Amino acid sequence: RRFAGTALMRAKREGLLRNAAVVAANRCVESLSPILLEASREDGAATVRQHALWAYCELLAGQGSAARARVVERLESALNDPDPEVVAEARENLDRLPN
């Protein structure tokens, strides 16, 4: 009732989680990387998986070789996601990773 008729209700769960993933990456909230990793693997909504994957990569890609290896591992795994948008996100992120 508190949020009835507000933008919060219009966004629904999927929109809120998608936006939260983007904010986490843009604000460099590295403590959320385990949650983003899990969401990128497990969430039932492809949009959430896609944005969580992007955010996870954004947070870890520049954190050294061990973090980069984890990002590459996750991206390669995401190439098997059933949703083509998640697969496309994984491919784009793999292409953008510095060597």
Give the max Cα distance, the chain: 51
Q: How far apart are CA 70 and CA 97, in angstroms?
A: 12
| Dihedral, CA of residue 38, residue 80, residue 45 and residue 88, to nearest 10 | 110
Return the pLDDT at 8: 73
Return the pLDDT at 20: 96
Q: Is 85 helix (H, G, I), strand (E, B) or coil?
A: helix
Q: How far apart are CA 89 and CA 73, in angstroms?
A: 14
Can you read off the two tokens belonging to residue 16? 């809120």
- Please provide residue 80's backbone torsions phi and psi, each rounded to the nearest 5 degrees: -100, 5
Return the pLDDT at 40: 98
Return the pLDDT at 62: 77
Can you read off the two tokens belonging to residue 86? 């998640």
CB atoms within 10 A of CB 55: 26
- What is the pLDDT tens value at each position of the chain, 99 positions in all? 787 888 777 778 899 999 999 999 999 999 999 999 999 999 999 999 999 999 999 999 878 889 999 999 999 999 999 999 999 999 999 999 876
